[in-house]
A and B are shown apart, each in its own frame.
Chain A
Amino acid sequence: DSGVTQTPKHLITATGQRVTLRCSPRSGDLSVYWYQQSLDQGLQFLIQYYNGEERAKGNILERFSAQQFPDLHSELNLSSLELGDSALYFCASSVGGAGGFSYEQYFGPGTRLTVT
């Protein structure tokens, strides 16, 4: 168990809908990362937050947004869902966020999103 929790585990929804994925980082970790894993795209970095502030953006669609709250948990919001958004969404956390150090990231179990 990595200490990173994600809810829900599974989500089935229809095209055009909006969903929210939740992540709680390991105790003491200030950075939260979101990744998308799909068969055709592999593991793709979406976005990073560090202590409540956005730190980096990756291949995140405009229909997607995220935030990190004062208690450091994070939410990923996916709207106007399309069939192609079906994927496994992972949250990861690390102690630090950048700089000269490289902190390993610890991953949650993921949320499997199915868009029908």
Chain B
Amino acid sequence: AQSVAQPEDQVNVAEGNPLTVKCTYSVSGNPYLFWYVQYPNRGLQFLLKYITGDNLVKGSYGFEAEFNKSQTSFHLKKPSALVSDSALYFCAVRAPGGATNKLIFGTGTLLAVQP
């Protein structure tokens, strides 16, 4: 069965510094991977996805993620953090093929950016 792990409950970073939010996955075959962000009292917003091709994926709001097949990781990154990036970030995986597009989410990582 596919699964996603986000090993850090919280990541603290100073504004202007680079940030990384970690995600590792377990899935049979080539995974489809996603990052979503949730602001307080809001729904989840799609940031980016990896399906195939270039291992570095660029997404919304200056975020990018690097797919690493050998380490089964899909870490979210941003070169320079903003206070407004503070939110809850979810990594999700979907196994290719099959009859459903359902997503399996990680437990979430709270990103706190200090001014």
| Chain A contact residues, CB within 8 Å of chain B | 2, 4, 31, 33, 35, 42-43, 45, 48, 55-56, 58, 90, 92, 94, 96-100, 102-110
Interface contact B105-A98, CB-CB below 8 Å: no
Interface contact A98-B98, CB-CB below 8 Å: yes
Q: Report A-chain residues with C-beta under 8 Å of the C-beta of B107.
A: 42
* Assembly CA distance A110 to B102 (angstroms): 17
* Assembly CA distance A10 to B42 (angstroms): 13
Interface contact B51-A90, CB-CB below 8 Å: no
Interface of B is mostly: loop
Interface contact B101-A94, CB-CB below 8 Å: yes
Number of contacts between A and B (CB, 8 Å)? Answer: 66
Interface contact A102-B90, CB-CB below 8 Å: no
Q: When A2-B45, A109-B43 are in contact, do A102 and B100 touch as well, CB less than 8 Å?
A: no
Q: Which of B42, B45, B101 contacts A31 (CB 8 A)?
A: B101
Interface contact B44-A107, CB-CB below 8 Å: yes
Interface contact A33-B102, CB-CB below 8 Å: yes
Min Cβ gap B85→A in Å is 19
Interface contact A107-B45, CB-CB below 8 Å: yes
Give chain B's interface residue range (CB within 8 Å of chain A).
20 to 34
Interface contact B34-A43, CB-CB below 8 Å: no
Q: Which of B42, B44, B46, B99 contacts A56 (CB 8 A)?
A: B99
Q: Report B-chain residues with C-beta under 8 Å of the C-beta of A4.
A: 43
Min Cβ gap B101→A in Å is 5
In the complex, given contacts A48-B101, A106-B46, A109-B43, what are 17 additional A-B residue pairs having Cβ atoms less than 8 angstroms apart?
Answer: A31-B101, A33-B101, A35-B105, A43-B108, A48-B102, A90-B43, A92-B44, A97-B101, A98-B98, A100-B97, A104-B46, A105-B101, A105-B103, A107-B45, A107-B46, A108-B43, A109-B42
Interface contact B44-A102, CB-CB below 8 Å: no
Interface contact B43-A110, CB-CB below 8 Å: yes
Mark B46-59 against chain A: 1 for CB-CB distance below 8 A, else 0.
10010100000000
* Assembly CA distance A4 to B99 (angstroms): 23
- At the interface, yes or no: B96 with Cβ under 8 Å from chain A? yes
